[in-house]
Amino acid sequence: MYRQIKLFSMTLLILCSCVQAEEYTARRQQMIREIEADVLDTAAYIDKRALNPKVMEVMAQLPRHRFVPQKQQPYAYENRPLGIGHGQTISQPYIVALMSDLLHPDPGHRILELGTGSGYQAAVLAQMGAQVYTIEIIEPLGKQAADRFAELGYGNISTRIGDGYYGWESQAPFDSIVVTAAASHVPPPLIDQLKPGGRMVIPVGGGFQVQQLMLIEKQEDGGIKTRQILPVRFVPLTGSH
């Protein structure tokens, strides 16, 4: 009798897991549709009507619910930011997709991320084949993200606890750099660590105010070209600088 009950419980658990997996898949598809709608709504700002299909493919498969606290998991696939503790958030899926698209990531690219947070942005880029170096100043978040990367098998993400303003000089230069917190200005060390021909995406402006998402391109001669993409709202970049 005990064996029968145990087998029934295991079968029920498997069935529940399958149902939940199907539900998450459906929610991710809805999230993708909402991202596509946002792209069309902001086409005049971002100068495109569709994002890199590879970005969309990765985000349609990546389990965002694994990157948020348990109490937030029911909302994981809503197209909005969610709190992850310590006054920080996981960015709106549309913004993650747009920033990933703007970086032009290719397999083998070396990408620096400032502000690991939950690790979702880094995972999107790693899933696209990039080697990601990500820095988080809030130690508990950085450690949680590192554990999450290990659990999910991301061998192409390197983590560090520290002030991202100064970049990661020992691993430079980078093909691209993404900053997931608002800075009052573009940190000079990041410009120095960006390869000629490289791209940086960074929100610039005051903390907890409307900022501008900026695309910065480093020319082959070392010159800098900047472009405002669209208004955004990010938590502020922190540190001693």
The CATH class given to the 2-232 domain equals alpha beta
**Catalytic choice (91, 118, 158, 176):** 91
User: Domain coordinates of the chain in residue numbers?
Assistant: 2-232
Percent of residues in the chain assigned helix, strand, coil, to nearest 5: 45, 25, 30
Question: Looking at beta carbons, which pairs linking 124-127 to residues 24 or more positions away fall under 8 Å?
Answer: 124/55, 124/58, 124/59, 124/62, 124/96, 124/100, 125/100, 125/178, 126/154, 126/156, 126/157, 127/58, 127/61, 127/62
Q: Taking the complete model, does pTM exceed 0.85, yes or no? A: yes
Which parts of 73-153 fold into alpha helices (H)? 93-103, 120-127, 139-152
Q: What is the pLDDT along the chain (241 residues), one digit of tens a residue?
A: 555 555 444 443 444 445 578 899 999 999 999 999 999 999 999 999 999 999 999 999 999 999 999 999 999 999 999 999 999 999 999 999 999 999 999 999 999 999 999 999 999 999 999 999 999 999 999 999 999 999 999 999 999 999 999 999 999 999 999 999 999 999 999 999 999 999 999 999 987 778 999 999 999 999 999 999 999 999 998 876 6
Count other Cβ atoms within 10 Å, centred on residue 173: 16
For residue 74, count other CB atoms closer than 10 A to its CB: 11
Q: How many other β-carbons are positioned within 10 Å of the β-carbon of residue 48?
A: 14
Has 184 been annotated as catalytic?
A: no
Nearest 10 degrees: Cα torsion 47, 48, 52, 57: 130
